[in-house]
Each structure stands twice: as C-alpha cells, then as structure tokens.
Amino acid sequence: MHRGASFLWLLAFSLGWLARSLEGVESCRGTLYLTIDTGSMKPAEEIAAILRKHGVRATFFLSNERTWRGDHALDDSWKTFYQGLVRDGHAFGSHTWRHWYLGPDRPDRRVTYRGPNGQRQQLTQEQLCDEIKRPDERFQMLTGRKMDPIWRAPGGRHTPLSLAFARACGYEHVGWSPAGFLGDELPSETYPNEKLLARALANLRDGDILMMHLGIRSRKEPFWPVLDPLLAGLKKKGFCFATLAERRK
C-alpha cells in the first residue's frame, strides 16, 4: 500500500475509534451501582450470565447462608462460580458470616446479634469484626482475591455501635438507595415482576445503589428474570454501571 494511502487509512481508523469512544461517554447520562446479596443461590448462574450478556459489573455482598441445595454459599462447592465472577470483573464485600440481624446496642458496649430461631449473642468489637472478616477470609481461600473493605448488615439493619466497630476494623457500611430497592423480597402476589420492573425504570436516578439477591425462597414468582429487561431498559435510557470499588476511588 502506498505510504500516503496508509497514512490516510490510519487517520480514518483513529478518528473512527475516537468518535465511538466519545459517543460512549456522551451516551452515559448517569451511573448506577448494582449490588447483589447472597440468598438461596438457586439462580446464581443465570444472574451471572445476564450480567455477562449486558457487560455489567456488580458488587456482590457475600455471607455463608444455607443454599437451596443444602450446602452453604461459601462452601468449596461454589468455588468455580466465584472464580467466574472474579474473571468477569465484579467487586465483593462482606454480608457477615452467619447473616443474623444486628441490634439493639447495649449499655455495656456490645451489639445484640439475633439468629433466625431466636438465638441471641452479645458481640464485642472483636467478635463483630470477626463476623465481618470471615467471609473475606473464606473468599480469598476460594478465589485468591481479597474483598473490598466494605460490608452490608443483613437486612440493612445496623446500629451506631456496629457501624463504629466495623469502621474500627477497616470496613465501611454500604446500604442502598430508596429507589434502588428492587423489591425481590416483596410478595409477588402484590408486587408482580411487571410492576417492580416498571417502578425501577421510572424511579432510578444517577448515583443510585440498586439491591437484589441471588434468589429469594419466599417469593412465588422468581424475580431474577427481571434483571435482563431491567439492565436493557436502563442502558437504553443512557445509564452506565460501575462497581462500588470504582465509586470509592
């Protein structure tokens, strides 16, 4: 190819690449942060596939909850799944080890930790930090990847003392935006998927943190299929997605 023609071809290619890059920047009218908490884990693979389809990176908050197949979410049996999420570029935070609920704070500077069957434990700062750190330590064993220094209290129910304890051991609490509550924990009889999808598409705004789960046992109509049209609809409206790790930078 003639030298002049080669130069023109290279110039045209470069200008085309620049135009496509600028088009992507201009079309991003806001950034959303999708977060996904552990749950029954039944649709885990399907959710990961939908994220991969849309090129969306999420932030997963992980706990050692019991899954639909009888094992636990941070058992060796989930190693391949988490390794795949790491390869896909997702971010990760702690959802506590046992997924019990926090509160209330006690006068002796302990935090009440309540289990699903009426169990109660009074946690010191050291004990709460261990509860938050254990998913991180286990995740590193499964993937070789360290979690980001963020956590989410089960149900979003934290207390002043639990937040202070967690900050002292290096973890920042992250909840979700009111409009970002996608509603997969709500009864499908009164909140069918179509209604939840329409609500999210209408109300989400730039900077919102979205929250859903890797499966909810109590919901009759599984919510996870909503994720596909939700991501497509939000991207069509000009939203981009980022992880909470990127938000912290």
Q: Model confidence over 95-134: pLDDT tens digits?
A: 999 999 999 999 999 999 999 988 999 999 999 999 999 9
Q: How many C-beta atoms lie closer than 10 Å to residue 28's C-beta?
A: 15
Q: What is the CA radius of gyration of the chain?
A: 21
- What lies within 8 Å, CB to CB, of 209 at 6+ separation is 32, 33, 35, 174, 175, 176, 177, 180, 244
Peptide bond preceding 104 in cis form (omega within 30 of 0): yes
Specify the pLDDT at position 128: 98
Residue ranges covered by each domain of the chain: 26-248
- The pLDDT of residue 2 is 54
Handedness of CA 74, 80, 81, 84 (dihedral sign): positive
Residues 12-43: pLDDT tens digits? 444 444 444 444 444 789 999 999 999 999 99
Cα 191 from Cα 195, distance rounded (Å): 6
**The pLDDT of residue 19:** 44
Of all helices (H) and strands (E), which one includes residue 37? strand 30-37
pLDDT at 27: 72
- CATH superfamily, domain 26-248, is Glycoside hydrolase/deacetylase (3.20.20.370)
Distance CA 211, CA 186 (A): 13
Report helix, strand or coil for 244. Answer: helix
Q: Give Dmax over CA atoms of the chain in angstroms.
A: 83
The C-alpha atoms of residue 104 and residue 158 are separated, in whole angstroms, by: 9
Q: What is the pLDDT along the chain (249 residues), one digit of tens a residue?
A: 555 555 444 444 444 444 444 444 447 899 999 999 999 999 999 999 999 999 999 999 999 999 999 999 999 999 999 999 999 999 999 999 999 999 999 999 999 999 998 899 999 999 999 999 999 999 999 999 999 999 999 999 999 999 999 999 999 999 999 999 999 999 999 999 999 999 999 999 999 999 999 999 999 999 999 999 999 999 999 999 999 999 877
Q: What is the pLDDT of residue 14?
A: 47
Q: Give the pLDDT of residue 18.
A: 43
In three-state form (DSSP H/G/I as H, E/B as E, the rest C), the secondary structure along 217-236 is CCCCCCCHHHHHHHHHHHHH
